[in-house]
Chain A
Amino acid sequence: MSASSTSRRSLTGASADPPRLLGSLSRWASLCIVLIVIVAFFLIASEDWLTIVNDTLIAAIAALSLNVLSGYTGQISLGIAFFMAVGAYTAALLGGDRPTSSGDPLGLGLSFLIWLPAAGIVTALVGALIGPTALRLKGFYLGIVTLALVFIGHYLFLNARGLTGGPQGRTFPAPAFGDFSFAQQNDFFGLALTPGQEYFLLILPILGLSALFVGNVMRSRAGRAFQAVRDNEEGASIMGVNLFEAKMGAFILSSFLAGIAGALFASYSRYIVPNYWDLTLSIQFVAAIIVGGLASVWGSILGAAFVFALPLMLDQFSLLPPSSSSNSLSGGDLNALIYGLLIIAFLLFEPGGVVGLVQRWQKVVRKFNSHGGEGGEPAQVIDLAAPDRDAQPNVDDPSLPKSESR
């Protein structure tokens, strides 16, 4: 978003200014418009719309998490449903109501300020435990192992009745500050807030922070390392990237975000059965990042909106024609068909997803504009430093990664 386009502007040439956080006047203007739209939506939207948007915003956090691992670092993962479930059940254990009878699932009744960060941290720890095993494998193998993780998780969640409530599922805690519980309508300085609005106020900043964080990490040394690993592992290794550290970093960051998203989702749904965390959920997120745009923050958000909001909207507002046969067409099925076809189409023709399409279009527009104005786009200067013949890599340098040692 703002990060990537300012850095591109400084690359393409003229200005040597340090990249500003928000950039030019037009950027301020568009930011204001976005803010006004958000506030207007917040004030006038119905609870149905808020549900759709809140679910989508949470899905966007999870899509962002998968994009860190798959889009930026190139590691195939079908296991995001498992990590979301870990976050959700951590939240339930720490924040859930204390059991009143012996059959109730466990809960410690702790504050929201503890269970939400803990959901992320515990999931990150689980990721750190699984990572060293999973990341020894590449490509298809990693995909198959993460797939196995979803099935093993499903078995564990079905059997850990104390934690998950078994096949019947359990309730999840709503955030609460004293009497101000997100589960009910509250007065806030004279403004009556519905649960949907309260969650919206909570989720949107979390998504914003996550997006800003991921966007900035990807411009940092660590983020560049992730992307180098994706583009060429041998090359990255030769350039001094510790492959194991980079992959583990991405895995842990991804797990953290997935845990937060899982906890938020469970909290917003209030009640979830273990069957919810299945392979279909993982595949939906894979579809989201491919359709939206791999290795793109905006892509994650757009993709989540497409994959998760569209079927909800189709069902909510019954936009589908009433079907006469017994096999009625549900919004979810129709949407699955569309995103299945779009995965194939985007991977074939535009691997950058919707964001890639937009960038391609912007390039065309820019070319057109610059031709009209000053007669040609300034050539991009690629600074190829002359190779230094004297410099020889020190093979025994201990700081070089030992690729065989793990």
Chain B
Amino acid sequence: MAYFIQLVFAGIAVGCIYALIGLGFSIIFKASGVINFAQGELLLVGAYIVSAGVFEWHIGFLPALFLGIAVTVAIGLLFERFILRRMVGRPVFSILMITIGLDIVLRTGVILRWGTNPISPGTPFEITSGVNFGGVHFGASDIWTIIITVVLCAALYYFFNLTRYGLAMRATALDQEAALALGINIRTVYALAWGISAAIATIGGIFLATKSFTIDPTLGSTALLAFPAIILGGLDSLSGAVLGGIIIGLAEVLTAGYESRFANLLGAGFHEITPYLIMILVLLIWPYGIFGTRKVERI
């Protein structure tokens, strides 16, 4: 039983990371209809800068965190302003591929600067610290992941429901022309979406790196596990991204915890593909996800 609770706790913590990354995807998709394949690499850049800030430049965790957020936000804003804005009206294919171009550039940039060897993640606490309670180990990073995710979700809820710009973003997502007619500055909305999403990516990157104890350039592809989360929740739904993230995290960790009992049947590494299997199943049955708007096009 303690094992099960341990897994559920770990699953929720992992799910919170996927939720954070998924939120980044969803905010951009909702505002501008673009899936940003470079989100995983924004996260990678953020995690590396924070780590370098702590261990290489010795500026302390919080300044490093702000530096990381500042750099990723700057990359996001510049990419949106100078590249993506010129692509308005182009086929989905081109828009997706151009974010893959950014993805390649960012990952190679990180490799050129820091190499491919794993380095330690920058965190404000000991990676292995935590508390034991009733035979269950609650890791400090897991607890912090959950707390920060809850705080961020509350802040985003407040932002999207009770502030001027948050409402403007929702209005734009709902109907761009009507929003324009009401005097909403769409450019600000796009910039806000990319800025928020890049900032969340950095925070998600720190937790993802802490979870795996090291950072290396493959971290970005781990972030792709947020795709099943947002598909499950519905691409354009923020609460869906959070819920989907937690479900996917739980599914992955629970499978990882119990798959050794079925090793003859499942082989090794089955937990790595459970999120994708769930995603394909969801796409077949519920293409619009749990909370998404029903407009996925089919032939």
Residues of A within 8 A of B (CB): 70, 74, 76, 133, 135-141, 143-145, 147-148, 151-152, 155, 158-159, 233, 243-244, 247, 279, 283, 286-287, 290, 326-327, 329, 333, 336-337, 339-344, 347-348, 351, 403, 406
Contacts and interface: CB of A to CB of B under 8 A. Distances in A.
A152 B277 contact: yes
Given A151-B272, A155-B272, A141 B100 contact: no
Contacts of A139: 92-93, 96, 297
Contacts of B296: 137-138, 141
Question: How many B residues touch the partner, as a band?
Answer: 35 or more
Contact of B98 (A155, A244, A344): A344
Contacts of A343: 97-98, 100-101, 104
Chain A interface, DSSP helix/strand/loop, else mixed? helix
A283 B104 contact: yes
B109 interface: yes
B98 A158 contact: no
A286 B279 CA distance: 23
B154 to A, nearest CB: 29
Contact of B96 (A135, A143, A155, A279): A143
Interface stretch (B58-66, B110-118, B244-252): B110-118
Contacts of A145: 279-280, 283
17 contacts: A74-B93, A137-B296, A137-B298, A140-B35, A143-B96, A144-B35, A147-B227, A152-B277, A155-B272, A158-B269, A159-B267, A279-B221, A279-B224, A326-B115, A337-B104, A343-B100, A347-B94
B299 A233 contact: yes
Contacts, number: 137
A247 B299 contact: yes
Nearest to B278: A148
Given A139-B96, A159-B269, A340-B108, 7 more contacts: A74-B91, A133-B280, A135-B299, A137-B287, A148-B279, A347-B87, A348-B98
A221 B35 CA distance: 33
A151 B273 contact: yes
Contacts of A351: 90, 94
Contact of A329 (B90, B112, B270, B276): B112
A104 B96 CA distance: 42
A286 B99 CA distance: 12
A226 to B, nearest CB: 14
A333 B98 contact: no
